[in-house]
Structure 1
């Protein structure tokens, strides 16, 4: 059995993780530990506090006891809000506190884009425009070309967690762009695990969602690969061989 630790902020769409575990139907386990979020707000100051080293470190002992082989901070906005260098420092501090290989959902998106071999992406975000712009800037620092970036103005994770398939599909369609080779839906508060294949069928291109890429990143850290069409192109393609 391979246990992959998920450090998740508060309570929103954490049920995506047992759902993904069931979809994979393998020896992969996704033990999940909740962090204290403080104020639930998609504001830069609140997100910086959400992703602080102290809040993340508080859950690491429970993850170690779960037998986790790696840990991913399952929060997009609470990682990219620190910027490219700051997000690296956040992950380094988490790895040190946990004593495990570590990453975050923001880096999961960056690595997943590279895995798919695409460059031009569209961002369909739940966030207000200023926070969405920070994610676009993070992706650009990762080497992606962001051809479109759309925010939805949702102020809290609780609001996003209440969205259903219809709202998720509308978000993806609204954020898509003819030049985009893939569409990215950040926010681990958004329920997407059951919709990835339908999203890709509707848009005709790969779709990357926050909880999907978080699990893929955890698998990558543990050097595990899973072939699962229900989780989209990211879980069916062979890795790109860099020249």
Structure 2
């Protein structure tokens, strides 16, 4: 069984402020909701803070979670149904997915690429490469994983991968304007290609230090700095393969899933204004 939770966060509480600024702390708090279960499985989460006064945490868990401790730390201390966590089984949604259905979607992901160009490395990677060279390491890493930094590159990163996720993007209505600076044309009549309905809601970069562990999870005592650039996508899609899309919804998209990336959520399509 899989469950989707929606937890309102009270941003002025001390515990909430810690979670909102630290993906590591939020990850630990999320895992705490299923820590009692012997096999918690894969957990995905996403923080939606478009309205900083009313941020929401969305979490996908395999076992049914218990958000009591989370609410005590960062939730609203009021007796209101809208301020309480909502937990629903994901099975009904997955069961009714059919080819041709249309949905609005939201996704926060970490768009990255592998490169050997040193000018694209971030300061942490440059320092690590310099340290490896100075220490005389037998094998110095020549290629690095770096974040896509422009909106156009982040859009391309996702659109190129969409066919493997069981859906396709819907075109924007003829009356809508394309996002400026993303699609290389100015006259909509100059091209017959449909303009996909996808946009970047916002970008975020997180930088933090984490403990270094071995392959079996044992701490080495050292630390390393981690930088994650994320992009939140919105748009509309059409289901092409319900089985693959169901797997995508459960397993997530891209990397950095422990730090709030990868959770794709669906909603009824937004009504278009004629």
Q: State the TM-score, normalizing by the size of structure 2.
A: 0.27
Which structure shows the higher strand fraction? 2
> What TM-score do the two structures reach when normalised by structure 1?
0.29
**Which protein is richer in helix relative to its size?**
1
